[in-house]
């Protein structure tokens, strides 16, 4: 987990996203132990309750699960759940915003596709 916290959104949400990103990158694998509340609190110098809130968010989403007395682990199928969640957010958020702005500017979908294909990104 190499990321840094910012003021852009709640810390617990950033903690959850960082763990998700580590799962997507293959840094955390299915059935592997996730960082503990205390590890996260020390790493980011935050309240353990805030770190715990980020972890519990992932538990609620089925991305992590608890092993009583041992810690939290990456759930089977977590990577696929994260991909689906982020794809949906991309389609409903960024892509919709892009298409709405293109419509306001009079840019057709065919023109957008052409722009993407010709892009050096």
- In contact, 75 and 63? CB cutoff 8 Å: yes
State how far the Cα of 38 lies from the Cα of 27, in Å rounded to an integer.
Answer: 19
What is the per-residue pLDDT across 78-113, written as a single tens digit (0 to 9) for each? 999 999 999 999 999 999 999 999 999 999 999 999
Average the pLDDT over 62-69 and give the result: 96
pLDDT of residue 2: 59
The pTM of this model reads: 0.80
What pLDDT shows up at residue 1?
62
């Amino acid at each position: 987990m190499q990321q840094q916290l910012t003021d852009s959104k709640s810390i617990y949400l950033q903690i959850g996203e960082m763990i998700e990103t580590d799962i997507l990158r293959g840094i955390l694998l299915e059935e592997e132990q996730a960082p503990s509340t205390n590890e996260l609190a020390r790493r980011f110098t935050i309240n353990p309750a805030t770190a715990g809130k980020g972890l519990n968010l992932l538990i609620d989403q089925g991305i992590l699960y608890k092993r009583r007395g041992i810690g939290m682990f990456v759930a089977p199928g977590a990577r696929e759940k994260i991909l689906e969640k982020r794809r949906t957010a991309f389609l409903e958020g960024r892509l919709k915003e892009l298409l709405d702005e293109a419509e306001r500017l009079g840019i057709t979908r065919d023109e957008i596709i052409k722009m993407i294909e010709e892009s050096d990104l």
